[in-house]
Amino acid sequence: EKTVGIIGAGIAGMAAGIRLANKGYEVTIFDGNDYPGGKLTELRLGKYRFDAGPSLFTMPDYVDELFRISKKDPKNHFSYKQLSNTANYFFDDGISLQASANPQLLATELEDKLGEPTANTLAALKHSSFLYDHLADLFIHRSLHDVKTFFNRQAFKAYKVLHKLDLFRTMHAANRQRFAKDKTTQLFNRYATYNGSSPYLTPATMNIIPHLEFGVGAFIPEKGMHQITESLFTLAKESGVEFRFNSPVKKIILKSGKVTGLRVNGQDHPFDNIVSNMDMVATYKRLLPDTKAPARLLNQPKSSSALIFYWGIKKNFKELDLHNIFFSGDYQKEFDHIFSKGDIYADPTVYVNITSKEVIGDAPAGCENWFVMINVPHNSGQDWELLKVRAKEHILTKLSGVLKTDIAKLIEEEAVLDPIRIESKTSSSQGALYGNSSNNRFAAFLRHPNKSRRVKNLYFCGGSVHPGGGIPLCLSSAKIVTSYFPDLH
Ligand code: FAD
């Protein structure tokens, strides 16, 4: 049983391909697009280059490890640097601050600018580190669908401190109690958006996320985020993985409850094993129409999506950094709009990512490449044309007000990405960025497993299955999938 067909050349599909090729399998990856990387792609507008999807890189070791198992030194193939400043934050009342990656410097800045006692910030980061130490192994690095996951040393370590894992209140409730100032609460609440959830709904256990930035570190590849895709694509090809682009898979072919191949462009390709990197809702609906789908897992509420304006800006802004946040004046109302009303709040939090601050050549001299993103609901049939027009006005009002410059006049290139296009380009159900939301405390247990329980030799990786969305978790899913395959060497 040597051959593997992978559906999708997203980062998880490519990582699974690299790992399986290294175990001695013959791997072919099919992608409907004419490029690899799925959501992790790039865009060129005139003289500007943009990373089109993810902008924050954490846990780089998941990428490095793919080189190491391929007997290559990652340093020679994939270079990235650690950020000393995680983000610049701007509030409507004129207060702004720099969130250093160094906990002590961050705590001092929050005291200076917001009046937050340093002890509170340091205690919050210590707690985040504690959560990571007790939960990462259980919820990120392993399958949650193997009994043995729950009977090892790491699992028992978590059970012993169950009461401290903060499962029974929301992230906001915990942060409001922890911090003296509303602005600090808002800053730490923002980490819920790292997996497309609401701080007012997601359990406080998600306070594990700040540790990724302040403990493990935030990074940027030397040539921008798209370098992750390029490096993995090259490594996969060098490992012997075959790629077929413009090749949308139309069917997973089964015989007696076992996979036998894939139907692509009207042709049947036999395979012993199939790994789907396609969104799992779409996999069941479109490729396995005759297989009983696990309805409960498929129907879980989806994460938020995004509306992104890619703007070529003909000016340099010294007050801006690689990551910049312009906060909403009412965060709770913003999330209420996204998750309860399925709408966009008139005063959204605006995220501006400017890779030209770090990557030479991403914008012409004197100019910057702005990736301007707001969190929006996943697609449930809203009038996106209307929402985009309104959102652009609100974003321009906010940015122009805080930066005291008419931003509209500086835009010389523009492209837009909305939830409908995210879904059509990557199959992501309802255009969600991170698969299911984590807006309830059972979410981790309601993601689809990495190995099918119904169909023999069918596996799943990527942001819509366990352990969840985001680059590190997708790469972890590929590692978990591969652990089911015996080494053929
Ligand atoms: P995807 O990227 O979802 O790709 C799936 C691939 O499968 C696509 O190439 C698609 O063409 C292919 N495919 C689908 N169906 C078929 C078929 N039937 N036949 C053949 N091919 C098929 N993560 C972070 O870590 N940090 C961030 O800052 C961050 N920001 C984000 C911002 C945006 C705007 C978006 C969209 C996402 C962001 N994410 C971020 C999430 C991250 O991009 C995703 O979790 C991750 O890239 C998903 O990878 P994946 O392997 O699941 O595949």
Ligand 1 contact, 158 CB (< 6 A): no
Q: Is residue 149 part of a domain?
A: yes
Q: Is 0.90 exceeded by the ipTM? A: yes
In the prediction, which pLDDT does 144 show? 57
Q: Is residue 260 part of a domain?
A: yes
* Nearest ligand 1 atom, CA 422: 36
Residue 10 is part of which domain span?
A: 3-40+223-300+440-483
Q: Is residue 126 part of a domain?
A: yes
- Cβ within 8 Å of residue 344, ≥6 positions away: 307, 337, 338, 374, 376, 377, 387, 390, 391, 394
Specify the residue with its C-alpha closest to ligand 1, atom 27.
Answer: 54
In the prediction, which pLDDT does 160 show? 67
Same domain, 176 and 234: no
Ligand 1 contact, 38 CB (< 6 A): yes
Same domain, 152 and 206: yes
Q: Is residue 124 part of a domain?
A: yes
* Nearest ligand 1 atom, CA 464: 52
Cα 105–chain centre separation = 27
Same domain, 207 and 251: no
* Nearest ligand 1 atom, CA 39: 2
In the prediction, which pLDDT does 297 show? 82
| Residue 390: Cβ within 10 Å count | 13
Q: Is residue 387 part of a domain?
A: no
Give the strand pairing for 80-82 and 218-221.
Answer: antiparallel
Q: Are 367 and 306 in contact (CB under 8 A)?
A: no
Q: How many domains does the chain have?
A: 2
Ligand 1 contact, 13 CB (< 6 A): yes
How many angstroms separate the alpha carbon of residue 38 from the centre of ligand 1? Answer: 5
Specify the residue with its C-alpha closest to ligand 1, atom 9.
Answer: 38
Choose the final residue of a domain: 185, 213, 241: 213
If one residue of 352, 426, 464 were mutated to test the ligand 1 pocket, choosing by the most ligand atoms within 8 A of its CB, it would be 426
Question: How does pLDDT run across 2-33, given as a tens digit for each residue?
Answer: 999 999 999 999 999 999 999 999 999 999 99
Same domain, 189 and 234: no
How many angstroms separate the alpha carbon of residue 427 from the centre of ligand 1? Answer: 9
CA distance 344 to 377: 7
Ligand 1 contact, 471 CB (< 6 A): yes
In the prediction, which pLDDT does 147 show? 56
Q: Is residue 416 part of a domain?
A: no
Same domain, 191 and 245: no
* Nearest ligand 1 atom, CA 286: 18
* Nearest ligand 1 atom, CA 55: 28
* Nearest ligand 1 atom, CA 471: 25
Same domain, 125 and 196: yes
Q: Is residue 99 part of a domain?
A: no
Same domain, 198 and 123: yes
Choose the final residue of a domain: 213, 232, 253: 213
In the prediction, which pLDDT does 166 show? 79
Specify the residue with its C-alpha closest to ligand 1, atom 29.
Answer: 54
CATH code, domain carrying 451: 3.50.50.60
Ligand 1 contact, 218 CB (< 6 A): no
How many angstroms separate the alpha carbon of residue 382 from the centre of ligand 1? Answer: 22
How many angstroms separate the alpha carbon of residue 471 from the centre of ligand 1? Answer: 9
Same domain, 146 and 200: yes
Q: Are 430 and 423 in contact (CB under 8 A)?
A: yes
In the prediction, which pLDDT does 316 show? 98
Same domain, 231 and 198: no
Q: Mean of the per-residue pLDDT values for the chain?
A: 94
In the prediction, which pLDDT does 149 show? 60
Ligand 1 contact, 228 CB (< 6 A): no
Ligand 1 contact, 200 CB (< 6 A): no
Per-residue pLDDT of the chain (489 residues; tens, 9 = 90+): 799 999 999 999 999 999 999 999 999 999 999 999 999 999 999 999 999 999 999 999 999 999 999 999 999 999 999 999 999 999 999 999 999 999 999 999 999 999 999 999 999 999 999 999 888 876 677 665 665 665 566 666 666 666 677 778 999 999 999 999 999 999 999 999 998 999 999 999 999 999 999 999 999 999 999 999 999 999 999 999 999 999 999 999 999 999 999 999 999 999 999 999 999 999 999 999 999 988 888 888 899 999 999 999 999 999 999 999 999 999 999 999 999 999 999 999 999 999 999 999 999 999 999 999 999 999 999 999 999 999 999 999 999 999 999 999 999 999 999 999 999 999 999 999 988 888 877 776 678 899 999 999 999 999 999 988 899 999 999 999 999 999 999
Same domain, 187 and 250: no
Same domain, 188 and 249: no
Specify the residue with its C-alpha closest to ligand 1, atom 44.
Answer: 470
* Nearest ligand 1 atom, CA 58: 25
Same domain, 183 and 274: no
Choose the final residue of a domain: 154, 181, 213: 213
Ligand 1 contact, 35 CB (< 6 A): no
- CA-based Rg of the chain, rounded to a whole angstrom? 22
Q: Is residue 287 part of a domain?
A: yes
